Every structure is written in C-alpha cells, then in structure tokens.
Amino acid sequence: MPSAGTTRRRADAERNIAAILDAATDLLARAPDAGVGDIAKAAGVGRVTVYAHFPSREDLVRAVLTRAIEESMAAVTGAAGGEDGDPPDVAFARLIRESWPVLSRYGRLHEAAVRALPAEEVREHHDQPMEAVRALVERGRSTGAFRTDLTTDWLVTTVYALLHAAADDVAAGALDRDGAAGVLQTTLLSVLRPAP
C-alpha cells in the first residue's frame, strides 16, 4: 500500500499543518492562554482550518507538546548519552550547552500544557527528558563528582527550575540567550558539586 489506502493529503495541507504547529509553539511559549483564533492568525490561516487538522484545542496543544518533547529528548540524549567517557561535571556542562538552544525556545509552553491537558499526561511527557538529567546526576553522585547531602529529587528540581527561570528571563529580555548557557553551567555546577 502506498500510504494508507484512502486518498492522499495535499501539499498545501501539509504546509499549513506545519505552519500551525510552528505558530502554536511560538505563541504558546509566550502566551500560554492563547486561543485557537490567535494561533490561527499567527499561522496566517483561518480558524476553521485549524479545526480541520486538529479536532480540538486540546489535541493541538498535545501535538505541540509531543513535538517539543521529542526535540528536547533528541537534544538532551544526544549530549548526555555521550557515554561515560567524560566525567559527570564535564558531561553536564556539555548537556546544558547543547540542549539550551532548544530548551530556551519553549518558555512557558509547559504552563500551556498544564492548563490544557490532564496533569498526569503532562508529567509523563515532561519527565522523559528529565530522566536523562536524573541519570547523569546519579552517576555523578556515585563517583563523588556531585554532592550527596541533598536528594537527587531536589537537585533535578533545581536544574529544572533554573532552566525555566533562565528561559523566562530570555523571553522577557532580561537575559541574553547566547550568554545564558554559560551562566547556567556556572550556576548549576556550583549546586551540583560537593561543598568544600
């Protein structure tokens, strides 16, 4: 079978779906309560067209979140999955440096997802990339590179919180996107490394 048995999808439809997804990602990252009308306008498309491709606002948000998580996973595992060749603090610094350009674009998207989707579903998605961070933190703890006087949970929470704070500051213009990666590296390694 060529595709799915039924009639194929036209090229402009494909293009519009991509445009809607892109616009929704950008807009929701800045205005988590943006309506379908706003998203359609940002995508240069009629409101009805959005509903032609996504059954409901909830489905659209889900699609945006899924894609964002996939991209994040690729960035995070690509940098953190770099085997045990490097010591944990070096690996962590690389993780931040390489995943920041991706993560910094998602701003308040998480908030949009929490409002539109069941809490547990968001948690499941969001925990995926954080699992890679957790694994790296635990490896660091076992080798003595990272501190053990704080729980792993709290350290991961700290990483998560500061990443989001930096993304918010970038969105608000209070922080330079390119410089933020270095600031995050410095700050987070100060937290992760054992106290002297």
Partner DNA sequence: CATAAACCGAACAGCACTGTTCGATTTAAG
Partner DNA sequence: CTTAAATCGAACAGTGCTGTTCGGTTTATG
One-letter amino acid of 31: A
Contact predicate 189/89, CB 8 Å: yes
Cβ neighbours for 72, distance < 8 A, ≥ 6 positions apart: 99, 102, 103, 106, 128, 129
Q: Given phi > 0 = left and psi -120 to 50 = alpha, else beta, which region is 83?
A: left
3-state secondary structure 37-76: HHHHHHHCCCHHHHHHHCCCHHHHHHHHHHHHHHHHHHHH
Q: How far is the CB of 53 from DNA (least distance, A)?
A: 6
Q: Choose the contact partner of 53 out of DNA, a copy of itself, none; CB within 5 to 8 A by kind.
A: DNA
- Dig out the tokens for 89 from the structure: 């603090």
One character per residue 71-110, x = contact with a copy of itself (rule: CB under 8 A): ----------------------------------------
Least Cβ distance, residue 126 to DNA (angstroms)? 22
Q: What track of x and - describes contact with a copy of itself for positions 116 through 145 (by CB under 8 A)?
A: ------------------------------
Alpha carbon distances (Å) from 33 to 57, 112, 173: 11, 6, 20
Number of residues counted as binding a copy of itself (CB under 8 A): 23
Residue 4 CB contacts under 8 Å (≥ 6 apart), including other chains: none
Q: Which of 134, 152, 169, 171 binds a copy of itself (CB under 8 A)?
A: 169
CB 77 within 8 A of CB 132: yes
Between 36 and 102, name the residue whose CB sits nearer to DNA: 36
C-beta closer to a copy of itself: residue 94 or 193: 193
Which chain residues interact with DNA by CB under 7 A? 7-13, 16, 35-37, 44-49, 51-53, 55-58
Residues contributing to the site for a copy of itself (CB under 8 A): 33, 115, 149-150, 153-154, 157-158, 160-162, 164-165, 169, 174-175, 183, 186-187, 190-191, 195-196
